[in-house]
């Protein structure tokens, strides 16, 4: 099975290390190069702005890391959560049509698809984003330190990572983009000022 991937070093290493010997990974620097590999079984775009690319002409499944953007330009486009910390999981939340070809690719990757509504953040990402956002509200109000909040959440709720550890792993920009999108229809997701200031400084 030949899979074409556009990804940063972390995502590429994670995907290629976890796959079996039947998979040939071909890494490209730009999704525009997908068309140069017409015999691929599927394409993966892990770039944060994956939903903004044109995938016209590709017949096989195109899996795009699109957590906040729900745009699906064709039936072969499948959204998934490609955030760091999520792609390692055996279960992937997805939106789109999982046809036989896409199902076969996922089986080769030992991934189980949970098809959700085509909504921003799926389920787990919006939950993590809300937890991180609340932690930034607490830290921004000088109630506690980042380290103490992380420890409290790990010990009190048995979370594998604290909110600030999650934020570092996922990326502040990705969290901010999702919160901004969710806040359009629900003010509960309004971004904490401390998180917004952190993103604005970068």
Total number of residues shown for the chain:
202
Residue pLDDT, tens place only, 84-113: 999 999 999 999 999 999 999 999 999 999
The strand order across the sheet containing 62-65 reads 24-27, 2-6, 42-45, 62-65, 77-80, 91-95, 112-115
d(CA 160, CA 49): 28
Label residues 54-84 b or e (16+ Cβ within 10 Å = b): ebeebebbbbbbbbbbbebeeebbbbbbbbb
What are 178's two structure tokens? Answer: 């999702």
Question: Can you give the pLDDT at residue 22?
Answer: 86
Question: Can you give the pLDDT at residue 190?
Answer: 97
3 state SS for 102-131? HHHHHHHCCCEEEECCCCCCCCHHHHHHHH
d(CA 30, CA 5): 9
Place of tokens 């016209």: 56
C-alpha angle 104/90/84, rounded to 5°? 110
Question: Can you give the pLDDT at residue 19?
Answer: 66
Residue numbers of the chain with a pLDDT score lower than 50: none
């Amino acid at each position: 099975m030949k899979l074409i991937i556009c990804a940063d070093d972390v995502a590429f290493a994670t995907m290629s290390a976890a796959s079996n010997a039947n998979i040939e990974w071909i890494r490209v620097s730009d999704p525009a190069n997908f068309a140069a590999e017409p015999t691929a079984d599927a394409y993966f775009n892990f770039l944060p702005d994956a939903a903004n690319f044109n995938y016209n002409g590709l017949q096989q499944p195109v899996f795009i890391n699109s957590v906040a953007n729900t745009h699906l330009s064709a039936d072969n486009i499948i959204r998934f959560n490609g955030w760091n910390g999520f792609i390692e999981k055996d279960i992937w939340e997805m939106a789109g049509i999982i046809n036989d070809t896409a199902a076969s690719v996922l089986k080769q990757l030992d991934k189980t698809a949970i098809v959700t509504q085509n909504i921003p953040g799926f389920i787990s990402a919006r939950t993590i984003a809300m937890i991180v956002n609340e932690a930034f509200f607490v830290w921004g109000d000088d109630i506690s330190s980042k380290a103490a909040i992380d420890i409290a959440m790990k010990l009190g709720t048995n979370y594998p990572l604290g909110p600030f550890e999650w934020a570092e792993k996922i990326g502040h920009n990705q969290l901010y983009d999702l919160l901004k999108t969710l806040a359009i229809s629900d003010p509960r997701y309004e971004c904490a000022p401390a998180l917004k200031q952190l993103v604005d400084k970068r």
